[in-house]
Structure 1
Amino acid sequence: MDKIIIQGLEVKSLIGVYDWERKAKQALLIDIELNVDLSVAAKSDNVSDTIDYAALALAVEEIANNSEFQLLEALASHIIEHLLSYQGVENAKLAITKPNILPNAVAVTVELSRESN
């Protein structure tokens, strides 16, 4: 199966359960993997035959920027449902990384995988 992969998409989001986390938006890193048939686009060389990943990245950035979830899990679920709404996406994998949240770890990552209905 063909894939579109976006790695390390940096977004800002108001996320967290502690009061100090709710005072300002924090940087998150998002990795996206979409399984989708790219054969038509490969032959046509036309963006209308594929998923416009620049537009997709912008939509994910807007979702994160406008959300006020407490948990990474909730934000990830909301984003992955959006990813599955794109025509031709058979399944999606999403990882959200929150850097510097634990004093003794570089980051925490939540990863979800979902299939299209």
Structure 2
Amino acid sequence: MDKIYIEGLALQSLIGVYDWERTAPRPLLVDLCLWADLRQAAQSDKVADTIDYAKVAECLEQVAASSSFELLEALASCMLDRLFAEFPVLKVSLKLSKPDILANASNVAVKLTRTRT
């Protein structure tokens, strides 16, 4: 199965459990792996025959900007739902990072992987 990677996608979202986290959007990073059949795109060399990663990035940006989840797990799950609804992906692995949220850690992240049913 073929894969498309998007790594280090910078997003902003109102997310967090604590009151101080909910005063303004927080920076987030997404690392994404999309499994899809890319044979037609490889033959045609046409963006219409593949998953347009600019549109994927835009989709995730919209989800993040319009949400107000408390947990990374909930936002990541919502992102996966939208990707399956809007793109012909077979499987998705999404790592959602919240950098610099803990004083003694450079990053906190969740990674969810789902397969189209």
- Give the shorter-chain TM-score range: over 0.9
RMSD in angstroms over aligned alpha carbons? 0.9
Deviation per CA, 1:40-99, whole angstroms, max 9, x where unpaired?
Answer: 000001111111110110110011011000000000000011112244311100000001
Contact (CA 8 Å) 1:13, 1:68: kept in 2 or not?
yes
**Following TM superposition, where does structure 1 have runs of at least 4 consecutive aligned residues deviating by more than 3 angstroms?**
none
1:14-29 to structure 2, matched below 5 A, reads 14-29=14-29
- Which residue pairs with 1:11 in the alignment? 11
SS at match of 1:16: coil
TM-score by length of 2: 0.97
Q: What 5-or-longer segments of structure 1 have no aligned partner?
A: none
Amino acid at match of 1:34: L
Percent of paired sites with the same residue: 51
Q: How many residues align?
A: 117
What is the rounded CA distance, in whole Å, between the counterparts of 2:9 and 2:54 in structure 1?
A: 11
Amino acid at match of 2:64: A
What is the rounded CA distance, in whole Å, between the counterparts of 1:77 and 1:110 in structure 2?
A: 10
TM-score by length of 1: 0.97
